[in-house]
Structure 1
């Protein structure tokens, strides 16, 4: 065979090899699209100066993030609560049944605010699903079934999520149910935010304070079977059990649903916390901004579709972002922490706790802990074991019935210092927790969420690879176990958190008419 023939054969072989590799890549991409979707959540710093042109600044920043290189492969982007417009910058919002694309309306027919139109256009231009939060106005007599009196200006004002599809069409609208220290209206008939996508995932969505109650948050999972949840928030973190990422992770895991959580980034005012979570597979990405200044950043992850059983080993390693120690983040404190049945752990005298049982009311939990200590010149945390059964209130004088079994950190030996961080933060932990096992029996209830609860000193929850969680029905109670399986230091919280929704002061029973908007 001459050299020319050899060159031709080599060329043919190279082409065949290239085509094979191209086919394999295409096949790999197709498989990835079949099993995953790519989601982005935005941790967004609102302008804090109160300047009148903050809306234009926010809008441009939103559009820059939507059109960024980082967002090119993202199917759906979620923005936080309360970071686009101010309360006096209102817009009408079409319902899903109106089938409206604000971007495509003639100017003379367009009744919507410019910022809503521009974001509809951004969704259309970049072919992405977008979830935004804004302040909506609606003529109050539009719902003839509502017997409540109108305000003098004839408007209802809502805290509203709006969802655009890839054409810029409004495919879902949801008004916040549980307003939190806000001068906003609520709907007379309960509404639910539910929408379908072209990548085969059905989403439900709600806003901030809603996450602590059965309607609509838990109801989307239990009643409607939604497996992928969107959570827009401007959440005020509370130690030691309800900091933002800690709650997001626990809620996702307890329900075994995917959760896309976008948080306002204003740490000096107490707001931060975003992430993407894959239920019992844990954190895909999680962030808490604890410095002086918030950020405007897109965090993204490939999210496994819940209707397909994807082994945890096939998931990417979690991305977790936080400062080592909170510097300027304002934190609330659990108002019931001093009412727990608790004991102080003296880990200088004993390194192991075996079969310690604590009870409060009808709840009893058993604790087994193994530790070792490190030499440290800095002051150290103290730790308590605590159990609580009862009501806990929020700032708006609403409450949940909760049950908690947990280990948690304190600044001093006094119970009043639990759930606090010293300022400046000059404490560390000389304790290495080698293993923790907490077990309890939780009475079965019609509307109940039991979730794992953990927190490290960077205000992020522990990854799924470090814990074991189990819940099984035994007669009329759930036997629940939460175990630490990898050595951990700088631990702030580790426990079991149960929310009994029935009887909550904010319980809103679903009405017969279901409005999916």
Structure 2
């Protein structure tokens, strides 16, 4: 690290109220995330008073208190809570009003609600503009105060999600809502002395009628004394370029906090499945905290580095789960230029080749039979004729080709976008299972609009082609494979999911001759899904 870079980090930490003391203990820190079984308002569309809203939120905050204490006892230096975990969801713009507090901009003011609770007496004042007929107005920032004291008491950085109200003037701002204020889905970050050090308003809302999209996208970071810089984003943001890809690629952020309320959908977008893929492919540490709700299919949290993961996925137990893990610092400003730390400085979306590969592509190596056991392209015994078919997967119409026999060399195309697979089944499954290679190139338009290029090997849920693309968590078939395609985007998320929601990762992945590939051999659990999930951000508006 240069002297100027070190000064910049120290100054950034100082101005956020943090005393910068870098522990050189191998440049590691201890992170925690909590998957919370949120206690919901059973009638979120019904307007209640501020007192009732506080009583509701206090029940969730009491759980937060216990988990923060437990995390601190295990050495956690940063703790992330889920999206919507304090107040719940499915509110209207009016019914969320008594839950709102105004979170001041930490870039403009330095404030610890715990140390100075009376400094801002209007953090709930906008409530009057929304519901004139209610008289239970509390101008005290109760939720901010409690979270701030939680961070201070346990001496850890704390990330929480809450509803935020920001006043605006329609005569000066044509984007200002008709009622004269914005309502935001907001992440708030507190330092270990209780100071608010970051505030992020969610950019990509997911059917959230209570909230507004920010007038401009926010790129929010904060600095810690133990790990350097972190970026902040929320839930549905993970599928879009802004703000997270800009944080990673343009701003050099390699550590991210991620509150989410994610509903699982297999075979491609279960929570921990995509969290693992994002961390691996972007080359970042991801601290992901999800809601726990069996009725809504919500579970899946974890602490992910590009190499390892500690995660939780449980569709049955109705309890929360605290995860704590020691992880390496990835902030390039702290890693410096030391040769022994070079392996920690990853290039996002470049893949992870584990060996030096010659100019001949990895795929060509498979073709030449250098990987023993895989069939050659010209070997007719392992190229049984497969007829393409179409099936709906994740609401998109995929073109699929069935995997016949124990090994094969297949291609599936959606228009000019083609996916290529070499595979070999390495066990005799006790149950008959069928698999298919699928390709999709197009605009996804259900529950969000975004452009995809996807190659996926999926275990079908039944023994008929119509079942390919359905949801299953289990498989018996072990499979070695090499999957690749010529993507038009560099943003390809590679993922391997094993039976029982076992998160695997490719042995190798990367770009060769304009194609992105991944390979995996020796899986210990049956293959559920192997996917290269390409996001073509620039075509989202088509």
Give the TM-score category using the shorter length. 0.7 to 0.9
Contact 2:230-2:257 within 8 A present in 1 as well:
yes
Q: Offset of 1:234 from its aligned partner? A: 0.2
TM-score by length of 2: 0.74
Which residue of the partner structure matches residue 120 of structure 1? 148
Q: Give the Cα–Cα distance (whole angstroms) in 1 for the partners of residues 343 and 314 of structure 2.
A: 27
In the alignment, the residues of structure 2 paired with residue 368 and residue 64 of structure 1 have an alpha-carbon distance, to the nearest angstrom, of 50
Q: Specify which of 383, 387, 390 is matched with residue 442 of structure 2.
A: 390
Alpha-carbon distance in structure 1 between the residues aligned to 2:235 and 2:421: 33
Query: What SS does the aligned partner of 1:186 have?
Result: coil
Q: Which residue of 2 aligns with 1:352?
A: 407
1:418 aligned residue: 468
Deviation of 1:157 after TM superposition, in Å, equals 0.8
- Say which structure is richer in strand: 1
Matched residue, 1:177: 203
What's the counterpart of residue 455 of structure 1?
A: 497
Superposed CA offset, 1:401-448 (max 9, x none)? 2111221011224444233247xx8xx544222x111122223x4xx4
Within 5 Å, which residues of 2 pair with 1:496-511? Answer: 496-505=532-541
Alignment of 1:7-406 (within 5 A): 31-32=24-25, 34-48=26-40, 50=42, 53-68=55-70, 71-86=73-88, 87-88=96-97, 89-96=99-106, 97-107=108-118, 109-112=120-123, 113-141=141-169, 146-152=173-179, 154-183=180-209, 184-279=211-306, 281=307, 283-291=308-316, 293-306=317-330, 307=332, 308=335, 334-336=394-396, 339-346=397-404, 350-353=405-408, 355-374=409-428, 376=430, 380-395=432-447, 398-406=448-456
CA contact (8 A) 2:476 2:527 kept: no
- Specify whether residues 409 and 145 from structure 1 end up closer, same or farther in structure 2 by C-alpha distance, changes over 3 A only: farther
1:483 corresponds in structure 2 to 519
- CA drift at 1:108: 7.0
Task: State how far apart, in whole Å, the 2-side matches of 1:268 and 1:381 are.
Answer: 29
Classify 1:71/1:381 alpha carbon distance in 2 versus 1 (closer, same or farther; 3 Å): farther
CA offsets 1:280-312 (integer angstroms, 9 cap, x no match): x1x321111211x43222201111112345598
Alpha carbons of 1:358 and 1:42: their partners in 2 closer, same or farther (altered >3 Å)? same
Tell whether the 8 Å contact from 1:80 to 1:264 is kept in structure 2 after alignment. yes
Cα separation, 1, equivalents of 2:82 and 2:274 = 16
Give me the whole-angstrom Cα distance separating, in 1, the residues matched to 2:203 and 2:274.
Answer: 19
* Residue of structure 2 in register with 1:432 after alignment: 478
Partner Cα distance (2:173, 2:530) in 1: 45
SS at match of 2:37: coil
CA contact under 8 A between 1:80 and 1:234: conserved in structure 2? Answer: yes
**Counterpart-to-counterpart distance in 2, 1:71 and 1:333:** 44
Runs of 5+ consecutive residues of structure 2 not aligned to the other structure: 1-21, 44-51, 89-95, 124-140, 345-391
* 8 A Cα contact 2:35 2:322, kept in partner: yes
Determine the C-alpha separation between the residues in 2 that align with 1:102 and 1:238.
Answer: 39
- The number of equivalent residue pairs is 430
Retained in 1: the 8 A contact 2:28–2:227? no
CA RMSD, 1 decimal:
2.5
Deviations 1:93-125 (Å, cap 9, x if unpaired)? Answer: 011121111112253744442121011011112
Contact in 1 for aligned 2:494/2:532 (Cα 8 Å): yes
**2:366 paired residue number:** none
Q: Which residue of 2 aligns with 1:470?
A: 509
Q: Tell me the TM-score normalised to structure 1 length.
A: 0.78
Q: Secondary structure at the match of 1:84?
A: coil
